[in-house]
Structure 1
Amino acid sequence: MSEPLTSRQRLLLVLLTFDAFLLGLLELFFLPLRLDGIVLPKLGDAPLPVTVVLAVLTTPLLVRTTAKVVRPSFSVIPLLVWVLVVLGMGATGPGGDLVLIQDWRALLLIGGGALPGALALGGGLGRPAKGVSGG
């Protein structure tokens, strides 16, 4: 049986989970950005899903950081929160609106955040515990 989390570990877990929540919201809401001259410069009205790059980089970072500073078994929490926020808020957004746009960018966001996060999770959970030798 493992020892309970310290107060510092609990605080870090709450902060990392809140980070995953905020990143999921920001990545979801800024996914429809286009080069249309409103927010970004006008360059042919092309879609620019920069939040996918953010998801690819930050989701595995949150998972690995949770495994390091809290405990590897808790590293699934930020990934689950991110997925639930993107899917839950995307399907039933504020006022019941559909926030998750229905095109290739939505698939790219979900895959770009969940797949690297799951790979980081599996890599962290697949390592033997410290002091245990593989035979």
Structure 2
Amino acid sequence: MTATVDRPQGAGALRAWALLGALLAGVLVFDGLLTLVLEVLFLPSYLGGTPFPISALVAAFVNVLLVRGMATVATRPAALSLPLVAWLLGFLVCSTTGPGGDILLVDSWTAPLLLACGLVPAGFVLFRRTFLRPRM
């Protein structure tokens, strides 16, 4: 069941809805970056003596939610993928060295796992929304 909102018709009301949509899109893109930072910081967590990258599973779940959230604001696939693009750019920044030579994503199996879990499920949702949904 989906809820519908009766939007008032008028030039001012339409501009207000467009501004609210743009604000929500900006917040979702920022959330993509914010969640990446938290996922990278919690990536080297351990359960006893075993690496336990729970943040990779969180990345899969949250990025799907970000894409679905963008679907409430935009319909074009390029606009839907903006949180993922921000997430990927943040991932690339985290994988490079900083000014002091520090690197957040070390050479381990957890970094590619985070990349795959962050992009593949959300990419599948984008693919399904773009190509497999019947046109009305």
TM over 0.5: yes
Q: Report % sequence identity.
A: 35
1:19-74 residue CA offsets vs partner (Å, 9 max, x unmatched): 10100111112111123xxxxxxx2x21110101101101111011101x211221
**Cα distance change of structure 1 residues 111 and 6 upon mapping to structure 2, 3 Å threshold:** same
Scaled by the length of structure 2, the TM-score of the pair is 0.78
Are residues 1:48 and 2:60 paired? Answer: no
Letter in 1 for 2:42: F
Secondary structure of 1:7 counterpart:
helix
1:92 deviates by 3.3
1:95 deviates by 4.0
What's 2:69 paired with?
65
What's 1:38 paired with?
none
CA distance in 1, matches of 2:121, 2:101: 29
Are residues 1:34 and 2:46 paired? Answer: yes
Q: Is the 8 A contact 1:90 1:98 kept in 2?
A: yes
Task: Count how many residue pairs are aligned between Structure 1 and Structure 2.
Answer: 119
What's 1:20 paired with?
32
CA distance in 2, matches of 1:94, 1:49: 27
Scaled by the length of structure 1, the TM-score of the pair is 0.79
1:66-123 residue CA offsets vs partner (Å, 9 max, x unmatched): 01x2112211100100111112222234744211121111111000001111111111
Secondary structure of 2:110 counterpart:
helix
Question: Unaligned stretches of 5+ in structure 1?
Answer: 36-42
Q: Is the 8 A contact 1:28 1:90 kept in 2?
A: no
CA RMSD of aligned residues (A): 2.0
Secondary structure of 2:95 counterpart:
helix
**Cα distance change of structure 1 residues 104 and 95 upon mapping to structure 2, 3 Å threshold:** same
4-13 vs 56-65, which deviates more?
4-13
CA distance in 2, matches of 1:16, 1:111: 20
Question: Unaligned stretches of 5+ in structure 2?
Answer: 1-13
